[in-house]
Amino acid sequence: MSSETAPTPSAARPAVPPFAWAGIALALAGAAFFATKGIVIKLALTEGIDSVTTLTWRMIVAVPIFLTIGIVTYRKTLAATPPGAPPVLTLPVLLQTLGVGVIGYYVASLLDFSALEYITAQFDRLILLTYPFFVVLFGAVFFKRRITLPMVAALLVSYAGIALIFWHDLSIEGDNVLLGAGLVFGSAIAYAAYQLMAKPLIDRLGPQLFTSIAMSGAGPAVIAHFLFTHPVTDLAVTGNGFLLMLAIGTVSTVLPAYCISGAIALIGPERTAIIGNVSPVVTVGLAIGILGEAFTIWHALGTVLVLGGVFLFTRKEKPRQKVLEETTA
């Protein structure tokens, strides 16, 4: 009897999706492109372009692309909506998405970009990687979700790694490290809040339409911030600076978003998330190779602890939303 219901070896083994090689290549490309964000910001700083100007250029370049994709997606959604069905996009949903976009793509990004004026790209990326811990903390405080012992253990492992790097860099860089780390933690907290508020909107609108609307809400906020703090002439960048501004909007923002979306379509969110774990490692490699940042035994140990803690924390989670949203943060 049991032999009739036992799965055959071929049935038990998950099927390899068609064009899996293309999905793997897209996932690797998306992770690599996303890893360039901190490097581009650091290079822009060496060209005399501050973080707010770089963030403004990111919006100037990326928002029209996302907006175009969003319009096309919305028209397809309308065409596929049965007659008499409730509209996907209502005014309250639109306003909520715009507001959530301000938190995720203005507040969180501004804090992150600003932090890179004070700390290394490696340290910045590792702190940001711990934002899921804040998601769980907010879930426990506001939604009474349970925090388990493995979650606490993973948190302690990751923050032991951050503390190790922080202690080392503080002894060399002084108060700059304290300020920079505080800004990145603020970014991680804002991004965690964004994730919680974004989830029901993404479920309703889909990731492409949601991202297009959210980016469109953040764009004016970023530009208004720039106009209040900078003369318009600061946007006049030339030479290498202009190439870097194009890169932050395309290579570090638009390309990873669509590479990751394509990878999910071909190989699924779980495989894409696993491959995406190479992103912080790529950031570390680029920071050492391009920026000449130091990488001591303390940085190596701290990096292993942070990555290990995040892996322990996320290994049983369904990572679809995390993968889609992290690429545009």
Please write the tens of the pLDDT for every residue from 168-217: 777 777 778 889 999 999 999 998 888 888 888 888 888 888 888 998 89
Residue 254 phi/psi, 5-degree rounding, is: -75, -50
pLDDT at 86 over 70: yes
Provide the 8-state DSSP code for 87.
P
For residue 195, with 0-12 CB atoms within 10 Å meaning exposed, 13-18 middle and 19 or more buried, which class applies?
Answer: buried
Give the pLDDT confidence score for residue 219 in this predicted structure: 92
Q: Tell me the mean pLDDT in the region 89-95.
A: 92
Delimit the domains of the chain by residue range.
Answer: 19-78+87-326
Q: Tell me the mean pLDDT in the region 154-172.
A: 81
Tokens matching residue 141: 């405080």
Taking the alpha carbons at both ends of the chain, their separation in whole angstroms is 53
Place of tokens 């907290």: 189
Tokens matching residue 172: 């060399």
How far is it, in rounded angstroms, from Cα 79 to Cα 279? Answer: 37
pLDDT at 74 over 70: yes
CB 121 within 8 A of CB 51: no
pTM here is 0.82
Q: Tell me the mean pLDDT in the region 143-155.
A: 80
CB 275 within 8 A of CB 28: yes
Please write the tens of the pLDDT for every residue from 1-60: 444 444 444 444 445 556 778 888 888 898 889 889 999 999 999 999 999 999 999 999
Residue 135 phi/psi, 5-degree rounding, is: -60, -45
Q: Which amino acid is at 135?
A: V
